[in-house]
Chains A and B, each alone.
Chain A
């Protein structure tokens, strides 16, 4: 591989610049232009977060007055409890994604390993149902949580647990289908061997299926974590108190209230909120790319 590149290098050097540019060079130029477009907003928010005492105008010149004061201010605003938002987002997203992956895995196991009437219809329903986003039931979700909250205040409007439940309601869907496909690739002979050794269905599920598919389950859980952590709509109608809100809902308040003055503090919050997601993303990149071509949806 390395050898090949070197040979190509030597060849390229021999070609006059004008021809090199016409063939390949312009592509580099265009690509750098695109990268500037792609990366600039991120640099802009990062530089804003380090701009001490700046406003929106002051942040137009990148990387001036560097300091970490904005990050300190961010955590010391009693009306905008950023630390709570961060914690809530992590807690809610982990609970919802682990919960829904577990529910999905249970269902996928049934579809993959058990035979029952209505199995095919069930698989079809899964595909159909996930075409209709939960958001269509926005009003009803609100009304339902009001009713549930009358019985169990801990699950009603304003409760994180209630929101987690709502997210878990969207669990069966495209994820189940992906897992179903993966479980099918685990050889059935393993089940057979286990049953002969006396293992029950639950032992096979937890001991064989879940263990063998742990990596893919982790990837699906992380993707669902990313999706859940950026939800605004459901979180904004269900979480009413600042202390229970998530990053998406909380940071929205910065934007709706004197944005240009609060910009640098907001930028600090945005950087901190984005870092975990970007790290996860880079880490998961190759799974995501293959998942995309497999039919997952975003953007």
Chain B
């Protein structure tokens, strides 16, 4: 095998001339920048405790250095940059979406369980009645982060002094200076805030919570005025061993039932939740929940109808025009072609906006001028909006079909049609039995590609109707003209309703399989594969 490869080598590989000095300088410079960035991110990741990502960064960086510093391995040198980007932003993201589909990731489940617990504990609090009140000074460290310097004293004992911030629980310090009221006001390593600075940062100060210990449901200090600190207690109590949360006011117990949110026996939940692997839940929800299944069904139907009708309508109009104009007796062809290509040259997103104006029910040109004052709800009715979308897409797409069919028609040898005519075929027969079959050979793969493109033609749908009219019975943000991709976008990124990344990704997987099926059949038809082999 090895010998075989060697034989095949190209002149470039055989010669393997030594790189010049300037090549080396550029190489070292670029690698240096890369390594510096990598080193920086390793430190950040180390601090964040994200060891998996850190290992990946180290491995990729080492591999890149190895590839570029050694001699040989030319293919890797040329493929690596593109592959790295493709691996991250095309392959990884699709696979990762596949993973997200099996989680409950979304607005109310967007972090780890630990973060969620912290947020819960901070969400509500009550003052601890018998707890002592601390004397307080406010400090900042080198990074200008606020710290509490809290003094605990009573008549009988010596004062005890503590320092703590939002991120670090209180810790006792033994070097400090007391002011006249017997409250510590400075300690080495920190700067005491002046009154003016305090006023400037008062919002931040009043919201600050400093935990007494590093337990998750620890009591914490808050200050009402910057000179005293009061002990508060979270409304919830966390039992780490049993992994339950108890609400202190009524003693109700909430359990982690594996759905990424603490749930009581009667179904009450405490927000926020956290990201959790939920298996096929998203898929099961999409199938069993009427408020999702119903929309999914009509979205799928419309998605296919839209893609097929778009291809058919543009193809038929384009082909008709091409047949009509493919006639040397017609003058001014160049001009006609240039004028008809214009919609194709106009950016698609702008076309959607312009048509939105034309379709406007009250003021739009189509209702007011073209139809003489009609009142057609172009964008507000289930069926009219579908027609509106198809008409826009016809406008956008027929020039393309006109171009490709013209090209294909011109490559059909004239003798063929001539001999058919001599044999007594009518114009219609020549078209259906000679021209069309010949045409399809070149055009069919492009039609399939056009179908695949339109299947995910987000811009035409979303920018014209935003998927509307909205379906208010559905449990997800969806409208009657949505296609799968625009539905995914709305579920994942619409504001207002909660973002549900898990469900959105589950639908992405569905699109993935539909495209895979279409590609499989188109590959079997086209000769692309054979060309490569």
Residue contact B324 to A30, C-beta cutoff 8 Å: yes
Question: What is the CB-to-nearest-CB distance from A43 to chain B, in angstroms, rounded to a whole number?
Answer: 10
For B533, the chain A residues whose CB sits under 8 A away are 120
Question: What is the CB-to-nearest-CB distance from B174 to chain A, in angstroms, rounded to a whole number?
Answer: 36
A8 touching B41 in the complex, CB below 8 Å, given contacts A143-B105, A237-B493: no
Of residues 6 through 34 on chain B, the ones whose CB sits less than 8 Å from some CB of chain A are 8-20, 23
Of residues 400 through 425 on chain B, the ones whose CB sits less than 8 Å from some CB of chain A are 400-401, 403-404, 407-408
For A8, the chain B residues whose CB sits under 8 A away are 329
Residue contact B449 to A297, C-beta cutoff 8 Å: yes
Residue contact B519 to A128, C-beta cutoff 8 Å: yes
Residue contact A293 to B12, C-beta cutoff 8 Å: no
A47, B101: Cα distance in complex, Å: 48
Residue contact A31 to B324, C-beta cutoff 8 Å: yes
A90 within 8 A of B: no
Selected from A35, A37, A143, A297, the residue in CB contact (under 8 A) with B96 is A143
Q: Is the interface of B mostly helix, strand, loop or mixed?
A: helix
A91 within 8 A of B: no
Question: What is the CB-to-nearest-CB distance from B367 to chain A, in angstroms, rounded to a whole number?
Answer: 10
B474 within 8 A of A: no
Residue contact B345 to A132, C-beta cutoff 8 Å: no
B355 within 8 A of A: yes
Residue contact A107 to B78, C-beta cutoff 8 Å: yes
A55, B360: Cα distance in complex, Å: 12
For A185, the chain B residues whose CB sits under 8 A away are none
Residue contact A293 to B504, C-beta cutoff 8 Å: no
B390 within 8 A of A: no
Residue contact B5 to A137, C-beta cutoff 8 Å: no
Residue contact A251 to B363, C-beta cutoff 8 Å: no
Residue contact B458 to A135, C-beta cutoff 8 Å: yes
A278 touching B345 in the complex, CB below 8 Å, given contacts A135-B485, A143-B501: yes
A293 touching B9 in the complex, CB below 8 Å, given contacts A134-B89, A142-B492: no
Residue contact B354 to A200, C-beta cutoff 8 Å: no
| Number of residues on chain A facing chain B (CB within 8 A) | 113
0 or 1 for each of B483-498: is its CB under 8 Å from A? (1 = yes): 0010011001100000
Listed stretches A66-74, A170-178, A211-219; interface member: A170-178
A4, B400: Cα distance in complex, Å: 30
Residue contact B325 to A270, C-beta cutoff 8 Å: no
For A41, the chain B residues whose CB sits under 8 A away are 343, 351, 354-355, 358, 395
Residue contact B53 to A147, C-beta cutoff 8 Å: yes
In the complex formed, the residue of A with least CB distance to B528 is A127
A129 within 8 A of B: yes
For A137, the chain B residues whose CB sits under 8 A away are 89-90, 92-94, 96-97, 508
Chain A positions within 8 Å of B, measured between CB atoms, are 5, 8, 23-24, 27-28, 30-31, 34-35, 37-39, 41-42, 44-45, 48, 55-57, 59-60, 103-104, 106-107, 109-110, 113-117, 119-120, 122-124, 127-129, 131-144, 147, 150-152, 165-166, 168-172, 176, 188, 191-192, 195-196, 198-205, 226, 229-230, 232-233, 236-237, 248, 251-252, 254-255, 259-260, 263, 266-267, 270, 273-274, 277-278, 281-282, 285, 289, 292-293, 295, 297-299
Chain B positions within 8 Å of A, measured between CB atoms, are 5, 8-20, 23, 37, 40-41, 44-45, 48, 53, 74-75, 77-79, 81-83, 85-86, 88-97, 100, 105, 314, 321, 324-325, 327, 329-332, 336, 338-351, 353-358, 360, 362-365, 368-369, 395-397, 399-401, 403-404, 407-408, 442, 445-446, 449-450, 452-453, 456, 458-459, 462-463, 485, 488-489, 492-493, 501, 504-505, 508, 511-512, 515-516, 519, 528-529, 532-533
- What are the nearest 3 A-B pairs in CB distance? A169-B89, A137-B93, A195-B15
A-B pairs with beta carbons under 8 Å apart, 5 shown: A120-B533, A136-B508, A137-B92, A200-B17, A298-B400
